[in-house]
Structure 1
Amino acid sequence: MKNLKNKPLLETVLEIKWTTKKDYPKNINLGGGNLQPFKTDEFHKIFFAKMYDHLLNTGYPEYHELPHAGIPEEFATHQVQHRFTQDNHSWPMVQIGPGILTLNEALNYEWDNFHTRSIQLVDNLYKLHPKKEDLIITQLQLRYINAIDFDFEKEDIHELLGKLKININYDQSLFDATNLSKSIPGMSYLVAFKSSDPIGELLISFASGEVNGESKLMWELTFRSNVDEMDVEKDFKVWVDGAHRVIDRWFLTSISGELQGRFE
């Protein structure tokens, strides 16, 4: 993303998910709501121990145990349990859990630095995993979390969305039939568009929220690929460059005009 002086960016996240089982259950939710026992990485404890030593000695010397660390790994599939930072709770950070690695950066985000760290993280996954030949990367995700000042009680959300090149319309008959007001005190909106280069989808979401007690429109741009048939060890750089390109072009096109002037 363009290096804007007043950029709306809160956090950038690279997320890598994997399993070591060729017959992993694709038809169930393996996220936080999954209560079915499933050990996504049979070598997780060994991998974590090796990553622990490596990260402490290569730029992430502070270790923090997260609340989910107490959950048995068969019930914590793709949930981060451990965090490594440069200083106490500072950025960038690496997070690890059973079958998941993330790289997180906040206001100091610069693409070149994040790009280098992303490639290093994937390299370390393959170098340090005790059974890299069994690794099956199931999903790659690059996510940008933005927040724009907005008061839902006093401002018109459709006007702001219009400045982002997005128009959402409702037929008047809906309000005539229900006697509802057109004012919107909050929102939650998600849409996905397929991509062929790289293969995956761009997810755009908007939601009402708060940051430091101030009302905001939360705006997330996420590129996600289910890549269980991709050679991630070989092709990750191509994927992350492509994912960033798609997000960057959407973002810059969205803010062109009045919003770009506000963020510069």
Structure 2
Amino acid sequence: MGKHLPNNPLIEAIFEFRWLLHKDTAKNIEYDENYNFLIGLFYNGIKDVFPIRENLPSSQMPAEIIPYVPQFRFSKKEKSWPLVQLGPGILTVNDTDSYAWENNFEDLCCKTIQNIYRCYPDTNNLNLKGLTLRYINALKIDNVNILEYMHNFLKLKINFPQSLFETTEIHSIPNSLSTVFSFPISKPEGIVMYKFAKGKKDNSDALIWEISIISKDEEKINLPTEIGKWLSEAHSIAEKSFFAFSEGELYRRFENV
């Protein structure tokens, strides 16, 4: 998330921009009357950098029945990263192994937002619904008690009553885990969310660890001019969170070749 790590746990970095859709309560749908025009205009604005346009399976469905679901993907070449995705009310920037905040991701997020504001047919109706910056990490935990791992390496302790295991036939090592913590933040105004779940990486058991910064009071965010400011503040929270959890032995493992 900060400097290059030889054993980087990052699976994916995602920036998400959502704008408000019109609601038709009688038909129980949400729609954007400018969306069909936007698709071509947006592509024209980024095709010099992302010439490959891919129709996702969701593009076969009417936009009004799948609000906030990406339908189109744009990339430099097929099956490459980073990439940009567009759908009704949603725009995302995604990256994996090539992720570098200062070298490409921050700038790409800013330019992508500037492009949609430049291309959108009626910017008076392009009203922000929310911004999210999310990092998904995976830590391999083969043959390890996941609760002990979280305590020893992430400094996060989850305790169950010991009598639960001593007086019953319940085993003390969980088969699955999924837990979420969220905390308010003042800069940028919103919340930071930490999600921990047991999953898979390269067919091995892994602890999936997500850090998300989610905006609040969107009317106070002046886009597109303040997108750089929001991204910088959100990234600062995410980076400090990453180091706070991983500081010590876990971070040394990330650094080792």
Q: Same fold (TM over 0.5)?
A: yes
Distance change in 2, residues 1:210/1:20 (3 Å): closer
Q: SS at 2:196's partner residue?
A: strand
Name the residue aligned to 1:36.
28
Aligned equivalents of 2:231 and 2:171: distance in 1? Answer: 44
Q: SS at 1:232's partner residue?
A: coil
Aligned equivalents of 1:178 and 1:198: distance in 2? Answer: 47
* RMSD (Å) for aligned C-alpha atoms: 1.8
Superposed, which structure 2 residues align to 1:11-90 within 5 Å?
A: 11-19=12-20, 21=22, 24=23, 36-39=28-31, 41-57=32-48, 59-90=49-80
Q: Amino acid of the residue matched to residue 119 of structure 1? A: C
Aligned equivalents of 1:166 and 1:232: distance in 2? Answer: 37
Higher mean C-alpha displacement, 182-191 vs 137-146? 182-191
1:127 aligned to 2:118?
yes
| Offset of residue 176 of structure 1 | 5.7
| Offset of residue 133 of structure 1 | 1.5
Render the CA deviation track for 1:232-256: whole Å, top value 9, x for unaligned.
3232111111110001001011111
Structure 1: runs of 5 or more not aligned: 29-34
The number of equivalent residue pairs is 250
Q: Amino acid of the residue matched to residue 159 of structure 1? A: E
Q: Amino acid of the residue matched to residue 30 of structure 2? A: F
Q: Amino acid of the residue matched to residue 158 of structure 1? A: L
Superposed, which structure 2 residues align to 1:234-245 within 5 Å?
A: 234-245=225-236
Q: Amino acid of the residue matched to residue 37 of structure 1? A: I
| Offset of residue 229 of structure 1 | 1.2
Verify the 8 A CA contact 2:17 2:90 in the aligned structure 1.
Answer: yes
Q: SS at 1:155's partner residue?
A: coil
Structure 2: runs of 5 or more not aligned: none
| Offset of residue 199 of structure 1 | 0.5
TM-score (norm 2): 0.92
Q: SS at 2:160's partner residue?
A: coil
Aligned equivalents of 1:200 and 1:116: distance in 2? Answer: 22
Distance change in 2, residues 1:186/1:192 (3 Å): same
Q: Amino acid of the residue matched to residue 55 of structure 2? A: E
Q: Amino acid of the residue matched to residue 263 of structure 1? A: F
Q: Amino acid of the residue matched to residue 160 of structure 1? A: Y
Render the CA deviation track for 1:71-127: whole Å, top value 9, x for unaligned.
111111100000011111100100000010000010111001100001101111111
Q: SS at 2:234's partner residue?
A: helix
The percentage of counterpart residues that share the same residue type is 32
Verify the 8 A CA contact 1:203 1:222 in the aligned structure 2.
Answer: yes
Aligned equivalents of 1:146 and 1:180: distance in 2? Answer: 30
Name the residue aligned to 1:263.
254
Name the residue aligned to 2:171.
181
Name the residue aligned to 1:248.
239
